[in-house]
Amino acid sequence: MGRIVYCNGVFTPEEDARISIFDRGFLFGDAIYEVTAVIAGRLIDNDLHLDRFERSLAALSIPMPVPRPELEHIQFELMARNALMEGTIYLQVSRGEADRDFVYPAGLKPNFIAFTQAKKLADTPAQRNGIAVNLARDLRWARRDIKTAMLLGQVLAKHEARAKGYDDVWMVEDGLVTEGSSSTAFIITADNQVVTRPNSQSTLPGCTRKAVLRLCETHGLHFEERAFTPAEAQAATEAFVTSASSFVTPVVRIGEVAIGDGRPGPLTCRLQAYYIEAALGSVPVSPA
Ligand code: PDD
C-alpha cells in the first residue's frame, strides 16, 4: 500500500500528489528541506529541526508556508495516517512556481510537501559495527549552513564512495574535514577530547550535533569545537558521525586507515546510548 503524503494543504495517496514542472525547487534547487527522526512513534529533537527550518527559509526570504503549530500538526497527521513508528519525516518548501527566470517575481506562493519514510533507525548494523568513510574534495557552494535541496555535491560524493566500497564520505576543503555527505563529523583524541568543527557557513549546523554536545556536558565528557585535518582524523582513537537518520554512528575506517582497533570505540558507544536514552525520554508522545 502506498503512503499518504502531504501536498499543499491536502493529504493524498503518494501517486496523486502533483507539483508543477515550473516549481523553482525542481528547476533551480530553490527550496529548503528538513528531516526529523521518529522512533517509538515519537519525533526526535523536532524543535531543533523546526528552528533550523525557519532559519533556512528566512535566509532565502521564503515565507513559512503555514504557522509552526500547523506544521507540527501535519507531521503528527502523517505519522498517524501512515502508522509510522520508526523512520523519518521529510518537509520541503520551495519558493513556488513561475516561468523559468533566475530573478524570481515577488509574491510567489511556496510549494509545501511532506512525506514519511519508514525505516529502522535505532540499533542498525552501521551503529553496531561502524562505517567506513572515503575522503573527497568538498564540491559544494559556500552557504552550507542553509539546508537547501541543492544536494548534488553530496549525491556525487556519496555515490563515488559507495562505488569504491565505502559506506559514506567525509568531505575536505582547504585541508580540513568539513562534514559527512549528510552528517556531522566527530573525532575523539588520545586525551579523550570529543572534537567537531564549530558551526559556520562551511557546514550544516547539525541538530544531532547540538544534542550530542549537550550530552557531553551532561555526562562530563570534554569537547572542543575546532576543525581537524584528514590526517588527524586518521590518527584519532575514535570517530563517529551524527545525523537525524543515523543518530550516533561509529566510523571505523577513514580512507585506507582503520580508526583505533577498527571497531566502534567505547566513548562513541556511550554517546550512542546516551543519545537514544535522551531521545526516548524527553520528547512528547504523538497524539496519534
Ligand atoms: N542530513 N550535514 C549535512 C550536510 C546534512 O545533510 C545533515 C543531515 C547533517 C546532520 O544534521 P542533523 O543532525 O540535523 O540531521 C549534517 C539529513 C539527515 C538528510 O539530508 O537526510
CA atoms within 13 A of residue 171's CA, in its CB half-sphere? 25
Residues contacting residue 266 through CB under 8 Å, at least 6 positions apart? 238
Q: What is the mean pLDDT of residues 61-83?
A: 98
- Is residue 184 in contact with ligand 1, taking CB distance under 6 Å? yes
Q: What is the mean pLDDT of residues 129-150?
A: 98
0.75 exceeded by pTM: yes
Q: What span, in angstroms and rounded, lies between the C-alpha atoms of 137 and 135?
A: 7
8 A C-beta contact, residue 247 and residue 211: no
**Over the stretch 167-207, which tens digit does the pLDDT of each residue have?**
999 999 999 999 999 999 999 999 999 999 999 999 999 99
8 A C-beta contact, residue 272 and residue 129: no
**pLDDT at residue 283 above 90?**
no
**pLDDT at residue 242 above 80?**
yes
Q: What is the mean pLDDT of residues 95-104?
A: 98
Which of 175, 179, 194, 180 lies closest to 239 in space, CA to CA? 194
Q: What is the mean pLDDT of residues 13-18?
A: 98
- Is residue 193 in contact with ligand 1, taking CB distance under 6 Å? no
What is residue 157's three-state secondary structure?
Answer: helix
**Over the stretch 202-232, which tens digit does the pLDDT of each residue have?**
999 999 999 999 999 999 999 999 999 999 9
The question of whether 210 is a catalytic residue gets the answer no
Q: For a substitution probing ligand 1, which of 33, 182, 248 has the most ligand atoms within 8 Å of its CB?
A: 182
What is residue 111's three-state secondary structure?
Answer: strand
Locate cell 524527553: which residue?
A: 282
**pLDDT at residue 288 above 60?**
no
**pLDDT at residue 120 above 90?**
yes
- Is residue 116 in contact with ligand 1, taking CB distance under 6 Å? no
* Per-residue pLDDT at 281: 76
* Per-residue pLDDT at 1: 59
**Over the stretch 46-60, which tens digit does the pLDDT of each residue have?**
999 999 999 999 999
**Active-site residue among 147, 158, 164, 210?**
147
Q: What is the mean pLDDT of residues 155-160?
A: 98
Give distance in angstroms: CA of 244 to centre of ligand 1.
7
Q: What is the mean pLDDT of residues 243-252?
A: 98
Task: Provide the 10 A C-beta neighbour count for residue 142.
Answer: 7
Q: Which atom from ligand 1 is nearest to the alpha carbon of 210? A: 13
Q: For a substitution probing ligand 1, which of 168, 177, 184 has the most ligand atoms within 8 Å of its CB?
A: 184
* Per-residue pLDDT at 280: 83
Which of 182, 170, 197 lies closest to 259 in space, CA to CA? 170
- Is residue 245 in contact with ligand 1, taking CB distance under 6 Å? yes
